[in-house]
Amino acid sequence: MTSRISHTTIDSRDAHAQSAWWAEVLGMQQDPDDPNEPGHEECMIFSKDGRTRLLFIEVPDDKQIKNRIHLDLRPTDGTQQQEIQRLLALGATEVADRRTPQGLGWMVLADPEGNEFCILRGDVETPDHYASS
């Protein structure tokens, strides 16, 4: 017997705003039969195939220090730098540049509530040998 990840839950101060921001970042959508609304304490978004889900739950406390878990994002149709610029324009902030002069490494960004995530090199820059086509 094994288990699978049903969804990843992210604590939020504003679940609706976070779900909308991350849906834009990841090209995800909400359930049309149960739309996320301002004031909802739980807001879920889904990948187009419905297999990947993020649930944002409102909690009373602000984020403290460093995340214990974070997302590593790989751009699917552009470069790492193009994705960094797109996310900064959406409201992300730069936390740390961990890229090397040779073009390897990642950039650490934070979402509007300060949750860190990393941007890896894009699929066009380096193939992901673990991803299935």
Residue-level pLDDT at 25: 95
Residue 36 structure tokens: 């996320």
Asked whether residue 1 falls in the same domain as residue 57, the answer is: yes
Q: Answer yes or no: is 91 within a domain.
A: yes
Residue-level pLDDT at 127: 67
Mention every residue, 6+ apart, whose C-beta is less than 8 A from residue 127.
Answer: none
User: Domain end: 62, 92, 114, which one?
Assistant: 62
Q: Answer yes or no: is 133 within a domain.
A: no
* CA 21 from centre of chain: 9
Residue-level pLDDT at 23: 97
Asked whether residue 6 falls in the same domain as residue 49, the answer is: yes
* CA 44 from centre of chain: 13
* Entry pTM: 0.85
> Would you give per-residue pLDDT tens digits along the chain (133 residues)?
887 888 999 999 999 999 999 999 999 999 888 899 999 999 999 999 989 999 999 998 777 777 778 899 999 999 999 999 999 999 999 999 999 998 889 999 999 999 999 999 998 888 666 666 5
Residue-level pLDDT at 128: 66
The one-letter code for the residue type at 107 is M
Asked whether residue 57 falls in the same domain as residue 99, the answer is: no
Residue 99 structure tokens: 């890229």
Asked whether residue 72 falls in the same domain as residue 57, the answer is: no
Distance between CA atoms of residues 95 and 85, nearest Å: 14
Distance between CA atoms of residues 16 and 64, nearest Å: 20
DSSP H helices, the chain, are 15-26, 80-90
Number of domains into which the chain is organized: 2
Pairing of strands 71-73, 8-12: unpaired
Pairing of strands 42-46, 53-58: antiparallel
Residue-level pLDDT at 67: 73
CATH number at residue 70: 3.10.180.10
Range of the domain at 67: 63-126
